Every structure is written in C-alpha cells, then in structure tokens.
Amino acid sequence: MAFFIRISSLVEKLCTHYGEKICEYKEQSFYAFPEIVTLSNPKVEAHLRLLGFGYRAKFIQKSAEEILSKGGLAWFKNLQELSYKDAHAELMSLTGIGPKVF
C-alpha cells in the first residue's frame, strides 16, 4: 500500500510542477497532467531528482523525449490499433519500461 501512496505523491508533484492549473476547490489547487513536450525538456530530469523522484527522473524525461520522436499523441492513438502483444512491445521500447512495470 505504501508503494501506491508514494507513486500517487509523485504524480501529484509532477502535475503541480509541470501541469496547467485547472481549478481551485476549497482552497486547494488542482493541476492537469503535464504535456509530453513539457516533460521532454532535458532540464526536467534534474528538477525531478530535487523533488524526490530518484532514478525515475531520467526515465520520465527520456520516455517523454522518445514518445515525441515516435509521433506523440498520434503514436499513442496508433497503439489502440495494434494487437496486445505488439502494443506491449511498443511500450516496452521506451526507456525505463520493462516487464516488471506491467
């Protein structure tokens, strides 16, 4: 359970620092998930490390860069057209994505 709390906390940090503010409710601000182009910036890795992402920082920045080079959102949409096996292989081609993640 602690693992999920940790990951949720990291996702919230990612959104807060890199996502667009979408609303405020009961004095709390909420942010959208960041755009892939924002996360692909080479400076993101160092900042994420400062925020406590550890080894994940490199994988986030590098995967964002790779997703953009593969076509961005169009690449993701294309995954829907592939078989499970082929989509799985495509996702595993990203830095930091391996069988343990699935």
The 3-class SS string of 20-40 reads CEEEEECCEEEECCCCHHHHC
Is 100 labeled as catalytic in the residue annotation? yes
> 26, 43, 85, 100: which one is catalytic?
100
How is residue 97 written in tokens? 């994505």
> What are the residue numbers of the active site?
100
